[in-house]
């Protein structure tokens, strides 16, 4: 990407002739617009968020099926784990529409709709990685809170088990879901900041 942007921006640099010194600079060639790259980015972002939702809930469904039975009222659901994955995919699509809209519009504004799909997708992967990090941090933070004061945690949240082990699993699932939802927004903002810095650096080079 660096060489691609640089070649287009340096196309107007002066050339040295053998007898005439420097030739007048030619007008700089503008970067082409790539609306289809942004369209592909939007589609990829939505489905990637669905993958994040499904994969995180695959873990959560193993850690504490009781969380989904209690919070979502799945008392008659036979296979809670599969249902949790489906729920994660569904919520991932919903949040993906929102997060991807912000990221795609922001990318288009920052790059004037000129970046390639690969350049944008590399930063999208960073955003998704940030979502996984916040998912884990949210779960660990909730477990820490439950460990610090089990009485407080049971009083503050609905349906928390009395036994310590199940309570920690319940806390991890609840905290991780909050983490990935709120952390996803933070990841999008940070991702756009990084994308802007890398784009300006690529253009300058």
pLDDT at 22: 55
Residue 22 backbone phi and psi in degrees, to 5: -90, 135
The residue range of the domain holding 169 is 2-12+34-204
pLDDT along the chain (205 residues), means of 10: 47 47 53 91 97 98 97 94 97 96 97 95 97 98 97 94 96 97 96 96 84
**For the chain, what is the domain count?**
1
Helix (H, G, I), strand (E, B) or coil at 74: coil
**Is 154 within a domain?**
yes
CA distance 126 to 190: 9
Does residue 59 sit within a domain? yes
For 142, residues 6+ apart whose C-beta sits below 8 A from its C-beta are 171, 172, 174, 175, 176, 178
pLDDT in the model for residue 3: 47
For the full predicted model, state whether its pTM sits above 0.75. Answer: yes
**Cβ-based burial of 78 (10 A; exposed 0-12, middle 13-18, buried ≥19):** exposed
Q: Does residue 27 form part of some domain?
A: no
Residue 17 included in any domain: no
Domain-embedded: residue 29: no
Q: Does residue 45 belong to any structural domain of this protein? A: yes
The pLDDT value given to residue 32? 83
User: Is residue 169 one of the residues assigned to a domain?
Assistant: yes
Task: With respect to residue 194, please indicate whether it lies within any of the assigned structural domains.
Answer: yes
Q: What pLDDT is recorded for position 12?
A: 43
């Amino acid at each position: 990407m660096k060489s691609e942007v640089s070649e287009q921006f340096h196309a107007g640099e002066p050339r040295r002739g053998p007898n005439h010194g420097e030739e007048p600079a030619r007008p700089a060639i503008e970067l082409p617009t790539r609306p289809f790259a942004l369209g592909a980015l939007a589609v990829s972002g939505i489905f990637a968020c669905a993958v994040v939702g499904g994969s995180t809930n695959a873990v959560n469904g193993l850690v504490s099926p009781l969380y989904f039975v209690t919070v979502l009222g799945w008392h008659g659901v036979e296979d809670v784990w599969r249902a949790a994955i489906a729920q994660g995919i569904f919520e991932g699509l919903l949040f993906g529409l929102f997060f991807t809209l912000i990221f795609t519009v922001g990318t288009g504004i920052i790059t004037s709709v000129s970046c390639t799909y690969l350049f944008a997708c590399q930063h999208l992967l960073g955003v998704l990685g940030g979502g996984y990090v916040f998912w884990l941090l949210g779960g660990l933070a909730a477990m820490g809170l439950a460990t610090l004061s089990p009485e407080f945690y049971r009083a503050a949240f609905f349906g928390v088990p009395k036994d310590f082990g199940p309570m920690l699993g319940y806390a991890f699932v609840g905290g991780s879901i909050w983490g990935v939802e709120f952390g996803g927004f933070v990841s999008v903002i940070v991702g756009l900041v990084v994308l802007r810095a890398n784009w300006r650096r690529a253009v300058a080079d």
